[in-house]
Structure 1
Amino acid sequence: MGTLYLMRHATTYANEQRILQGRLDTQLTDLTPDGIALARKQQQFLSQHKMDVCFSSPLKRATSTAKILFQNYDVLIKPDPRLVEVDYGIWNGTSIDELKQKHPRYWDSHLNDMVVDESCNPERESENQVLQRITSFKRMLETDYRHKQVVVVTHGYIISKWLELAGTSVIEPVQNLQTITLPI
């Protein structure tokens, strides 16, 4: 049986400024110097395991994290659009504090994220769409990589939903560079 290492991308400027990133891919979503340094430290963890492949979200914060993690290793990094962060629609790039103030009933303090409600934000990607993307990716892993050691660098919301699909409850928000190990 293979092993999956689910990992959230390193810290970005938007994380530090408490801005909901979603699909943003700008200078604001670049990795911070601290995020880069922590990603380099995470290499030590990965060096203890023989990884076969790394998949990442196509967003720069995830691909940059993956490149740092594997810069000293011969591991193929494969961006996959199914791993992209949820599209928050009109909320992409908005201050989390502003969203909590304007839309308190849509804030989930358990997940540290905005909940899905198309009536408040019709442009937002639905939870069902996100779950379909994750399910499709998981099936591909189970078929093509079931005996491999796989790293997936993605986003907090995606990891939270992945864990729900796996029947694992999310105890607290997923932190930057947090690694969760699951069987494939």
Structure 2
Amino acid sequence: MAGGLESLDSRKEAITHTILSLQRKRQGELAHLYLADGSAPITGRSFGAPTSAKGEVVFNTGMVGYPEALTDPSYRGQILVLTFPLIGNYGVPDTELRDAYGLPEYFESNQIHIAGLVVSGYSWEHSHWAAHQALSKWLKDNGIPGIYGVDTRALTKKIREMGALLGNLVVVSDGGVT
């Protein structure tokens, strides 16, 4: 009987270790957003591509439509801050779908135009009938870094009060800065 309990305890320990390991992996690497005003870096966790991005930091206050915002050519080369508190929960539709005129069905253009993405909360699980992939995968596949865990409303207020700010979104991987 004692051997059975020891075996059960070791399996329980192994499962716990695996779960904790997966949780750490899912959290993403440490990431920082440095602003040109010299203020302290804004720290969060990365999702998307493990790379850095520079650009003007701008915001969007929409409650829905992040796939459309990311593919909007007016945001070309900018680091986009989304103020809605949860992003990624409905995933990303199929990028290959076209309407009757041959235009992208769910997007503003054929590609992501932003340089980087800043959100408050990122949902690692998505659910929507039209979802084809996770937002993090779409960003990763297109070389776009993202950071979550940021007070996006305070950041938006700062941008609104100070005007245009340049930023540098830096992902810190186990091997150093990317």
TM exceeding 0.5: no
TM-score, length basis structure 1: 0.22
TM-score, length basis structure 2: 0.23
Larger fraction in helix: 1
Point out which structure has higher relative CO (alpha carbons under 8 A, 6+ apart). Answer: 1
Larger fraction in strand: 2
Structure showing greater Rg:
2
